Amino acid sequence: MWKTVLRRVLIMIPEVIILSLLVFLLAKAMPGDPFTGSINPKADPAQLHHLMEMNGLYDPWYQQYWNWVVHLFQGNLGNSYQYQEPVTRLIGSRAINTVWLALLTTFLTYCFALPMGMFAAKHEGKLPDTIIRFYTYITYSIPFFVVLVIGIWIFGYVLGWFPTTGSVSATAASGLPTYGSHLYHIILPSVLGALFGTVNVVQYLRSEVIDAKRSDYVRTARSKGVPEKEIYKHHIFRNSLLPIAAFAGYSITGLLNGSIFTETVFSYPGMGLLFINSINYRDYTVITALVLIYGILNLLGTLLSDIILSIVDPRIRIE
């Protein structure tokens, strides 16, 4: 088990190096320089030249890359031009919001989707199955931002049950009320995200359960005289969860970088909203840092998936 994990982590190292190289070179390939916009346009070109030289921007790319990596390890991702504060601090304060939103959304998605997929498969071809499949197709085919806008309109504006912007109420007292306010703000976006994000899990689980129902090992279990309920519990359900488990890692990190819609519509101060704003303001240091973080998150997601899979599936463990 630990060998599998260790091996996977070692494989990740070259992946991260290649990723950082790509991100760095793409950022370098972007037109313009970091100073032209921030100094007096009438300034002497020699002065700009001097600034560039001071900051090592004329060094060969590998030298610059090396400096960038050294700074990365020192936790220095540079300063945001727009906010005039260190990128690490800027992202750090946003990341926590996004993580909570993603975790709650993922949790709720599985809460809705697992029973639905199971139920549909158990009643394959019958009315409940048809209804659930219809539901997943409908939710899949509606663009998510439309759902968000309608959701805000109904639950935030017409009914007034939930706040429509921000991550915390400005008037909430510190301590427990703050956490309560945070939770209150993410309920609507995560419930909407979960209700409309079930399609993958439901469809995967449904087809896996239907396959498992007809598999030879389930027939063996039936020939042992195991009651149908126990067969579902011990043989069908666990085996059908494999692809879902494999998917879990991706889906969590997918939500972390996929929260751009939700955060934009809800004006929720997370990484997605920061990303969109940085692009709008050409805040290159923030963009580079976020792209790198998203890339590493994806790698971590696959790692997480592999670890989960190696826990639940003995076939891929390395003994």
List residues near other proteins by CB under 8 A: 215-217, 219-228, 230, 234-235, 238-239, 242, 312-315
Residue 109, token pair as written in the block = 């998605």
- Nearest distance from residue 317's CB to other proteins, in Å? 9
Closer to other proteins at the Cβ: 221 or 303?
Answer: 221
Closer to other proteins at the Cβ: 247 or 268?
Answer: 247
φ and ψ at residue 193, rounded to 5 degrees: -60, -40
- Nearest distance from residue 278's CB to other proteins, in Å? 46
Q: Is 78 left (phi over 0), alpha (psi -120 to 50) or beta?
A: left
- Nearest distance from residue 4's CB to other proteins, in Å? 15
Closer to other proteins at the Cβ: 105 or 240?
Answer: 240
Closer to other proteins at the Cβ: 139 or 215?
Answer: 215
Closer to other proteins at the Cβ: 42 or 214?
Answer: 214
- Nearest distance from residue 234's CB to other proteins, in Å? 8
Query: Which burial class, exposed, middle or buried, applies to 27 when counting CB atoms under 10 A from its CB (0-12, 13-18, 19+)?
Result: middle
- Nearest distance from residue 201's CB to other proteins, in Å? 20
CA distances from 218 to 3, 130, 205, 234 (A): 32, 25, 16, 10
Question: How far apart, in whole angstroms, are the C-alpha atoms of residue 166 and residue 173?
Answer: 16
Closer to other proteins at the Cβ: 54 or 319?
Answer: 319
- Nearest distance from residue 130's CB to other proteins, in Å? 16
Q: Which amino acid makes up residue 55? A: N
Residue 308: closest CA among 10, 4, 101: 4
Q: Of all helices (H) and strands (E), which one includes residue 221?
A: helix 216-223
Asked if 84 and 283 count as a contact pair (C-beta separation under 8 A), the reply is no
